[in-house]
Structure 1
Amino acid sequence: MASIVNPIKSYSQTNYSVKMPEEASTILQTPVLEHRIAIEQVKNPYWHEKHGQNNEVRIFWDRDIWDRNLREWASYGYNGIFYYVEPWQETQWPDLLIRSEEFPEAKCLTQAQSEQMIEHMKWIFKRSHELGMKNYLFTYQIVTTPAFARAHGMNKDMPESDTVDWRHNMKNAMGAQYGVRNELTRAYTEAAIAELFQIYDELDVAIRRFYRGYRVQECLQ
């Protein structure tokens, strides 16, 4: 049995500190779950920088903060971390975590930014493994990137159908890079997931949520 839980009712990368839940001692004494998974936000530092939220940028790159939070989760008996890219309405892991080598038109970062992000996330995943926790990445499907949508003429309203989700036409949230299913986005998704696991040796699972229904599927490395 597995469960994704957040006993402190908040994300540690929001409050910048993990706090011991009152029931933690009971949980540790009487374990009932094979997998105990905590949630950490991966806040897009370039988005926050663009929006003048410099403190969020500083916190994201601070390895001492990440190390403290991961060590505390491990000390409470958690054996997995569930990483959730934020702000999810505007950015997802394809924007941040891969180089988009097969589809260079999907790139949203400069080469220097991309390498900086990859190196940082590799360190986080490695540190989590060192502490005995697996790494789980949340991903929406079908999602490309804003740059990919512009390059292929999908940055416009499209009639809702079996292949176009209504979220594609949302304004000021989600939008062009979300919810268009065709052979091109299928090929992009396959390439992006393959590249993700090629880059991150210590990423264990990507958990996918599909728009039509709530099927959850694991892509094991």
Structure 2
Amino acid sequence: MSHVHRRRGRVKSLPGQAPEPSLLPVSRARKITRKVEEPAVESVPLERLHPAPWNPRTIKDERFQNLGRSIQADPDFLWRRPILATADGAIYAGNMRYRAAQHLGMATVPAVVEDIPEQLAKERALRDNHQWGDWQDEQLGELLFGLRTDGADLELLGFTDKELAKLLDEVGVGVGEAEDEFAYHEQFGVTVICKDASEQERVYDELRGKGYDCRVVVV
């Protein structure tokens, strides 16, 4: 009977055999195979949660109103992107969704609550809010135009009217144009002349906040 003598480290193979892989140290093997429990998404009462005081994220009124409408239109999406909070209920990802849920009178929200260090929560907050990628404006404009043609409300997708006007202009279509480019619908409006871009933005936000349907133009 032949014997294969094993030594510490790599095992030599017999002629004609494939080399055996080197053995991992036991401690390292245990680290790799250790099962990590994933935190569960739960329906958490709003009273158990609060925005982290150090979170620098904010939201303008127009986006906030659209966020609320978006949640009403597709509440199940909150389960696909739950609020993230520390064990004491401090929200480090999803502050705006939490505030919109409050505004809508919701009693609970889908959330993941776990015991993590504050430093990790701050790092995750920045990762969550950072825009890693860039839009390809022309392709995005075509996608938005296709969705609008199919009846989608583009304001529920997180874009302002100003952004939509710019993006749809990439494909030669305005925000207010009808599907039939020759169709005419009578509208009544007032043109407000602003002295600069800053005043234009301020007036636009004020009028939108009062419920007016506004369009941003540069002449």
What TM-score do you get using the length of structure 2 for normalisation? 0.20
- Radius of gyration: which is bigger? 2
What TM-score do you get using the length of structure 1 for normalisation? 0.20
Structure number having the greater strand percentage = 1
